[in-house]
């Protein structure tokens, strides 16, 4: 099963959340989005792979985004309330990422990530960031990361409560540690590793799993 990446493991408490309950006639899917797949069904005029290549039901759409060069957990649904639940401005769900960066950040640099950085004129919300010992349990990427013998790498676990465009990459770049690989491994208490998916696989969520997205 791997390590527990749920938000509750770290003791986050964001206060009361708006109450939503899943509809029995709605679809809720978890997808392990591979590297270099667009977070949309329509083509962008290039030959890039889109979500249309994975056989999803016709009426679902991605809830939130995961960049073309990122991988990991993506939720698809036809329940519009799910976006409100996951991205409630006053109390959003945590999103946890495993991030491979160049060199190991100092404690001071990690503190900057946690306390917030000025990115494009706005300060990021407080987060949690720390170095992971060893290699995380991720499958090999379809295209290897760039590797320089003279530049070591390390893995971070970063948890955000907001979802700006390419935020993790911009934050690690701001402290001088460019992101090489980025995988979202949890949304709230729904863990990619507990779902048992491989890159390119998807499945319907069970009732208890769906409830994790609404509470």
Q: Which residues of 54-82 are buried (b: 16+ CB within 10 A; e: fewer)?
A: bebeeebebbbebbbebbbbbbbbbbeeb
Distance CA 115, CA 36 (A): 31
Sequential DSSP letters for 37-86: B-SSSS--SSS-B-GGGG---TT-EEES---TT-EEEEEEES-THHHHHH
Distance CA 178, CA 173 (A): 5
Catalytic residues: 67
């Amino acid at each position: 099963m791997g390590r527990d990446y749920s938000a509750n493991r770290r003791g986050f408490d964001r206060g009361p959340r708006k109450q939503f309950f899943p509809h029995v006639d709605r679809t809720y899917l978890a997808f392990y989005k591979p590297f270099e797949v667009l977070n949309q069904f329509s083509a962008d005029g290039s030959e890039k792979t889109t979500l249309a290549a994975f056989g999803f039901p016709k009426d679902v759409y991605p809830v939130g985004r995961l960049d073309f060069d990122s991988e990991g957990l993506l939720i698809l649904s036809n329940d519009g309330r799910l976006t409100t639940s996951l991205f409630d401005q006053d109390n959003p769900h945590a999103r946890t990422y495993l991030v491979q960066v160049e060199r190991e950040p100092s404690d001071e640099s990690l503190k900057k990530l946690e306390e917030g950085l000025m990115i494009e004129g706005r300060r990021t919300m407080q987060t949690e960031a720390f170095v992971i010992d060893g290699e995380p349990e991720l499958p090999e990427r379809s295209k290897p990361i760039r590797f320089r013998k003279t530049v070591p790498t390390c893995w971070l676990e970063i948890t955000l409560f907001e979802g700006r465009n390419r935020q993790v990459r911009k934050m690690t770049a701001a402290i001088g540690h460019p992101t090489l690989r980025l995988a979202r491994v949890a949304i709230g208490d729904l863990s990619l590793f507990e779902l048992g998916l491989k890159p390119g696989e998807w499945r319907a969520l069970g009732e208890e799993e769906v409830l994790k997205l609404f509470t």
